[in-house]
Amino acid sequence: MSSQKTFVLITGANTGIGYQTVRHLLSSDTSYHVFLGARSEEKAKMASERLMKEYPDTGSSISPIVVDLELDQSISQAFKTVNRLTDRIDVLINNAGIELDTNGPDQGLNPRQIFDKTYTTNVTGPHILTTTFIPLLLKSENPRLLFLTSGTASFELSTNSEFILNKSPIKGWPKPKQRELFSYKSSKVALNMIMRDWYRVLKEDGVKVWTVNPGLVVTSLGGDPEILKKLGAGDPAGSGEFVVSVVEGKRDKDVGKTVQRDWLYGKILPF
Domain range summary for the chain, segments of one domain joined by +: 6-266
pTM value is 0.90
- What is the distance in angstroms between the CA of the first residue and the CA of the last residue of the chain? 40
Q: So which residues are the catalytic ones?
A: 150, 184, 188
Cβ contact 89:140 at 8 Å? yes
pLDDT truncated to tens, each residue of the chain (271 aa)? 667 899 999 999 999 999 999 999 999 999 999 999 999 999 999 999 999 999 999 999 999 999 999 999 999 999 999 999 999 999 999 999 999 999 899 999 999 999 999 999 999 999 999 999 999 999 999 999 999 999 888 877 777 767 667 778 888 888 777 778 999 999 999 999 999 999 999 999 999 999 999 876 555 555 555 555 555 555 555 789 999 999 999 999 999 999 987 644 444 455 5
Task: Name 256's bridge partners.
Answer: none
Question: Candidates 3.40.50.300, 3.20.20.70, 3.40.50.720, 3.40.250.10; correct CATH number of 6-266?
Answer: 3.40.50.720
DSSP 262: T
